[in-house]
Amino acid sequence: MVNDLSVDLCGIRLWNPVIPASGTFGFGLELADSMDLNDLGGISLKGTTREARFGNPTPRIAECEGGMINSVGLQNPGIDVLVNDKVPALRKVYDGCVIANISGFSVDEYRECCAKADACEGIDIIEVNVSCPNVHQGGMAFGTSAASAAEVTAAVKAVCRKPVFLKLSPNVTDIVSIARACEDAGADGLTLVNTFLGMRIDIARRKPVIANKMGGFSGRAVFPIALRMVYQVAHACRIPVMGCGGVASARDVVEMMMAGATAVQVGAENIRNPFACPEIIAELPVLMDELGINTLQEIIGTV
């Protein structure tokens, strides 16, 4: 019996549901020499803004039990370089689903960047980051209120023909209400969750480890919280969900899908193991046999 790992995401067929999460896999090309990228169901590219950004001062990384904090601050070359250079170069070596991840500091910026991503031939899905907790004036404000998340969704949907996913922040009191607001504003799907705002202190220096003081916590430790949010949102909304947060094994992928995720993003695990995604994909058929699953699509939302 051949296992069918493929899933349908807004009409796009992914040959498996495993996608490296934005910010944990660069623009894909950085890893093209080390693995066959075509093993991957999709790739969510590094978060991109209108202008090029250097990001935050270093240290940008702090280790934690079961995870890490990052405060890269959206370092990226800008949307024009993404659509003119990065995506065409990736397309020479990658045939799967390419997801552009867009951040902005104003509704206008989101609209302008998403329109450019929508016009770029190599991009299949647009993922709008309204949740990045790293940047002082940015994302956080949009993702933490249902009204502003809906405002961004509507603005972006007005200029895009491709599927638009809203990537939500977990640092909110009621993620379901924000998810519903995005759905009502026309979102084609949701990615959840982004990182959890966290902090570490160097007790010898009596200073925060991260130069920017706080950053986004992610890694295996957040998996149960992310899973719970995916479960709640997937059962409250009709649009597909990409589950993200602490996924580190094929078992986690299956768990996320049973909770309601159509595809599953792997984030911090890539940082500790650059081969995490291909390893998880190789594990999946073995686990499917063990669990008596023939087609992965059939387990979505079965819990």
Partner 1 sequence: MEKRRYTILSNTPVAAGAYRLDLLADNSEFVPEGEFVDVSVPGFFLRRPLSICDCHPGYLTLVYKVVGQGTEALSDMPEGSELEVLTGLGRGFDPEACRERALLVGGGLGVPPLLLLAKRLKARGKHVTAVLGFNTADDVLLVKQFRHVCDIVAVSTVDGSVGVKGFVTDAILAIRPTFDYFYTCGPTVMMKVVCQALEGPGEMSLEERMGCGAGFCYGCSIQTINGPRRVCKDGPVFKKEEVLW
- Point out the residues that are catalytic: 132
| In contact, 23 and 48? CB cutoff 8 Å | no
Candidate list 38, 177, 273, 294; residue touching partner 1; CB under 8 A: 273
Indicate whether 219 belongs to the interface with partner 1 (CB under 8 A).
Answer: yes
| In contact, 233 and 242? CB cutoff 8 Å | no
Indicate whether 290 belongs to the interface with partner 1 (CB under 8 A).
Answer: no
Tell me the DSSP string of 172-215: SS-HHHHHHHHHHTT-SEEEE--PEEEE-EETTTTEESSTTSEE
Minimum gap (Å) between residue 273 Cβ and partner 1: 8
First to last CA, the chain: 25
Minimum gap (Å) between residue 34 Cβ and partner 1: 4
Candidate list 38, 121, 235, 275; residue touching partner 1; CB under 8 A: 275
Minimum gap (Å) between residue 168 Cβ and partner 1: 22
Alpha-carbon gap, residue 80 to 197, rounded angstroms: 30
Residue type, 117: A
**Kind of pairing, strands 196-199 and 12-14?**
unpaired
Count residues near partner 1 (CB under 8 A): 34
Binding mask 30-49 for partner 1 (x = CB under 8 A): xx-xx-----------x---
Alpha-carbon gap, residue 87 to 83, rounded angstroms: 6
Q: How far is CA 208 from the centre of its chain?
A: 27
Candidate list 67, 138, 208, 243; residue touching partner 1; CB under 8 A: 67
Q: For residue 23, give the 3-state DSSP assignment.
A: coil
Phi/psi for 244 (5° steps) reads -150, 140
- Alpha helices, H only, 23-145: 79-81, 87-91, 107-119, 140-143
Alpha-carbon gap, residue 63 to 6, rounded angstroms: 34
Indicate whether 75 belongs to the interface with partner 1 (CB under 8 A).
Answer: yes
Minimum gap (Å) between residue 199 Cβ and partner 1: 15
Indicate whether 274 belongs to the interface with partner 1 (CB under 8 A).
Answer: yes
Phi/psi for 84 (5° steps) reads -90, -30
Candidate list 7, 21, 25, 245; residue touching partner 1; CB under 8 A: 25
Candidate list 5, 7, 14, 24; residue touching partner 1; CB under 8 A: 24
Candidate list 3, 4, 10, 26; residue touching partner 1; CB under 8 A: 26
Indicate whether 176 belongs to the interface with partner 1 (CB under 8 A).
Answer: no
Candidate list 54, 224, 282, 294; residue touching partner 1; CB under 8 A: 54
Minimum gap (Å) between residue 192 Cβ and partner 1: 21
Indicate whether 58 belongs to the interface with partner 1 (CB under 8 A).
Answer: yes
How many other CB atoms are there within 10 angstroms of residue 197's CB atom?
A: 16
- List contacts with partner 1 (CB under 8 A): 23-26, 30-31, 33-34, 46, 54-55, 58-68, 70, 72, 75, 219-220, 268, 270-275
